[in-house]
Amino acid sequence: MELWYTEEQTDNVRLSIKVKEHLYTGKSDFQDVDVFESEEFGKFLTLDGLMMVTEKDEFIYHDMITHVAMATNPNVKNVLVIGGGDGGTVRELTRYPFIEKIDMVEIDKLVVDVSIEYLPITSSKLSDPRVNLYFEDGIEFVKNAKHKYDLILVDSTDPIGPGEGLFTNEFYTNCYNILSEDGILVNQSESPYYDQFSHEMKRAHSKIKNIFPISKVYQFHMPTYPSGHWLFGFASKKLDPIKDADFEKWTSLGIKTKYYNPQIHVGSFSLPTYVQEMLDNE
């Protein structure tokens, strides 16, 4: 049966994935939510028709959003996850026994419900006792938060629709304010390759570097995202992701990872010249 999920990555580029079954379709107050079964990628989740997570390569994204910061500061106790409704980021965080609290703020409860039902691979640890789920707007949450966090992971969609406010000066400033002295902010930073994505990448980085003393960008290979070339931003009050990384301690934790390792941690901050220039020129 020829059923193809097609993402219009740009007006001129389409990625199509053969689908075995359309497992779920629903509509929340915020977006369309769909789950598909495919031969190539296993199950995958889309929001407003855009690829979010596949069983085949979610490990790449979740390794890279989590372990770079955790190896930089393997003393993190309190973590805030903004977005991340599929649960994969939380799953990686729960592997650190010394983390005491994980607040996850996902605006769209439907994404969590659907992930729990269809994507146990990512959502399995949402029931960890350290995890507190807040189904509310992350923008408001960081404005009103009373406690400090050692780490904030912004696991957001593109800056269109519900994700838009997560790419503003106000949001980044509020993140700064609720971070502890050693605090780190990691945020989904789009891609350098296609214009519409690099435009957002530049805007986000330009804002963050005015707020945080340390602001860098690191890259990874994410085959199901447009161009396969994706970025996270790393910002902190004082910790440098390379100089301050404690790989000895991280390695001693014995956490098995399929993408992340200390070498790629370092290597991922080495950006192509054209990407570095885009970031510098903002």
Please name the residue that has the structure tokens 């890279």: 64
Asked whether 75 and 58 are in contact (CB, 8 A), the reply is: no
With binding defined as CB under 8 A, does residue 148 bind a second copy? no
Please name the residue that has the structure tokens 């219009």: 8
First to last CA, the chain: 48
In whole angstroms, the minimum distance from the beta carbon of 279 to a second copy comes to 13
Phi, psi of 153, deg, nearest 5: -110, 115
Show contacts with a second copy in window 70-89 (CB under 8 A): none
Closer by beta carbon to a second copy, 120 or else 223: 223
| Active-site position among 63, 155, 244, 280 | 155
DSSP 8-state secondary structure symbol assigned to residue 228? G
* Interface mask toward a second copy for 12-51; x: CB under 8 A: xxxxxxxxxxx--x------x-x-x-xxx-----x-xx--
Q: Is 31 annotated as a binding residue?
A: yes
C-alpha span between 235 and 38 (Å, rounded): 36
Closer by beta carbon to a second copy, 141 or else 269: 269
Of 232, 257, 266, nearest to 91 (Cα)? 257
* Interface mask toward a second copy for 253-282; x: CB under 8 A: ----xxxxx-xx-xxxxxxxxx-x------
Three-state SS annotation for 108-172: CHHHHHHHHHHCHHHHCCCCCCCEEEECCCHHHHHHHCCCCEEEEEEECCCCCHHHHHHHCHHHH
In whole angstroms, the minimum distance from the beta carbon of 51 to a second copy comes to 11
Of 230, 75, 105, 84, nearest to 174 (Cα)? 105
Q: Is 113 annotated as a binding residue?
A: no
With binding defined as CB under 8 A, does residue 160 bind a second copy? no
Closer by beta carbon to a second copy, 96 or else 149: 96
Show contacts with a second copy in window 193-232 (CB under 8 A): 193-194, 219, 221, 223, 227-229
108 a catalytic residue: no
In whole angstroms, the minimum distance from the beta carbon of 110 to a second copy comes to 14
Total of residues contacting a second copy (CB under 8 A): 58
**Token pair in block for residue 216:** 């860098």
C-alpha span between 95 and 86 (Å, rounded): 16
With binding defined as CB under 8 A, does residue 11 bind a second copy? yes
Say what angle helices 273-280 and 195-211 make with each other, to 10 degrees: 50
Residues that bind a second copy (CB under 8 A): 1-8, 10-22, 25, 32, 34, 36, 38-40, 46, 48-49, 57, 60, 193-194, 219, 221, 223, 227-229, 257-261, 263-264, 266-274, 276
Residues annotated in a binding site for spermidine: 62, 86, 155-158
Which residues have a catalytic role annotated?
A: 155
Residues annotated in a binding site: 31, 62, 86, 106, 137-138, 155-158, 162
